[in-house]
Amino acid sequence: MRLLDRYLLRELLMPLGFCLGGFLVFWAAFDLLAHLSEYREAKMTLGDMGQYYLLTAPSILAYLLPIGLLLALLYALTQHAKHHELTAMRAAGISMWRLATPYLAVGFSLSLAMFAINEVVAPPAAAWAEELKTRRNTGSEEGSKVVRNMGFSNSRERRRWQIGTYDLEKNTMTKVQVAYPMGDGTLAWLFAESGRYESGSWTFEGVKILQQIAPDDTTLYTAIETNQLVRRDFTEPPEAIRSELKISGSIGLRRVKEADIPLQALWDYLRFHPNLSGQNHAWFFTKFHGRMAAPWTCLVVVLIAVPFGAPSGRRNVFVGVAGSIFICFAYFVLMQVGLAMGSGGWMPPWLAAWLPNLFFTLLGAFLINRVR
């Protein structure tokens, strides 16, 4: 059986490589034509453009992997069926599930690879790509790394931050205001000219702390005024601030189509906002489950492609192409409907995110058992 598995894998991996390579080339060519004037305005050289597309390729590859696998698998199965190879294998007593084993192994491996690309490779690569895009136009790298006038809330410990400028690379800030509760029920406000994160704590320069006299008295008095103050009780790490930047705007705009927020950022945001309510809760957990469900599309693709491509007969290869287009269209329509319903609170977030995978997995398993 190892010989048969190697044969099936070889016949699959070659068209898969061609599909992915061709899709990437077409995507780069069309994107370049569409944004050439934008790159000129950014004063990017040919080398910059090449580096930019190398950095953005992982994000695009995460979308192309399921489509390329589907098209390659349908092509390979159609060729096997056309030459009656599948009929011969079935006549030798090999079941459809056993024939699908090497394909399932490829789907599982690509799902793990897609998860790693989405969570580890694509986010920093996309950030470097945007930095490269703005570097020559601004004359420095500061513009893409410094955020201005941002707010940050730690609802778990009831601290609210207002930051004039924040350097994402150096983890430094200026014009800082932090409102936080005291143990006696009063509120305090920390004002600092600057702050930096080092050795697991925040160090502030030019500090003044104002505090309420009593919980029911809004009169303030100066509790502390010093040149430098280390606050180890401020437990918000830089990662939490970055996750706030990524997620807060998306929640406000209800952007459900974007898959550029990694699980770590979502988890960091949830740690400091444990009491999300209403549509914010629905949006966040739909996004969270959607991020977890997306990589397993490659495995689902195998289950749905095998019964479409395995039936015997001398069929044209374009039947596989047409089948892949129809399957992709149905899958992505169901995915968008599920995400929209989950984000709107009309469906449990986990069900909304996993709905396409569950539906096509059950459908694929049912059809595989019916293949003759």
Of 86-100, 129-143, 156-170, 295-309, the poorest mean pLDDT is in 129-143
Calculate mean pLDDT across residues 349-371. Answer: 87
pLDDT in tens, 125-171: 887 887 777 766 555 444 457 888 888 888 888 889 999 999 887 88
Residue 246 half-sphere exposure toward CB, CA atoms < 13 A: 25
CA nearest neighbour of 134 among 246, 60, 55, 44 = 44
Calculate mean pLDDT across residues 277-291. Answer: 81
pLDDT in tens, 1-58: 588 888 889 999 999 999 999 999 998 889 888 888 888 887 888 888 888 888 888 8
- What per-residue confidence (pLDDT) applies to 45? 82
Answer yes or no: is pLDDT of 207 > 50.
yes
Q: What is the CA radius of gyration of the chain?
A: 27
d(CA 358, CA 341): 16
Long-range contacts of residues 40-49, Cβ cutoff 8 Å, at least 24 apart? 41/137, 42/133, 42/134, 42/136, 42/137, 43/136, 43/137, 44/132, 44/133, 44/136, 45/136, 48/132, 48/136
* Per-residue CA distances from 145 to 178, 200, 235 (Å): 22, 21, 22
CA nearest neighbour of 152 among 27, 67, 3, 273 = 273
Answer yes or no: is pLDDT of 112 > 50.
yes
* Tokens at 286, concatenated: 């739909």
Calculate mean pLDDT across residues 111-126. Answer: 87
DSSP per-residue string spanning 51-81: HHHHHHHHHHHHHHHHHHHHHHHHHHHHHHH
Domain boundaries, the chain: 2-139+292-370, 158-231
Give the pLDDT band (50/70/90) at residue 254. very low
Max avg pLDDT among 151-160, 195-204, 238-247, 277-286: 195-204
Calculate mean pLDDT across residues 91-111. Answer: 89
Answer yes or no: is pLDDT of 259 > 50.
no
* Tokens at 192, concatenated: 């600092």
d(CA 332, CA 23): 18
DSSP state of 147: E
- What per-residue confidence (pLDDT) applies to 144? 53
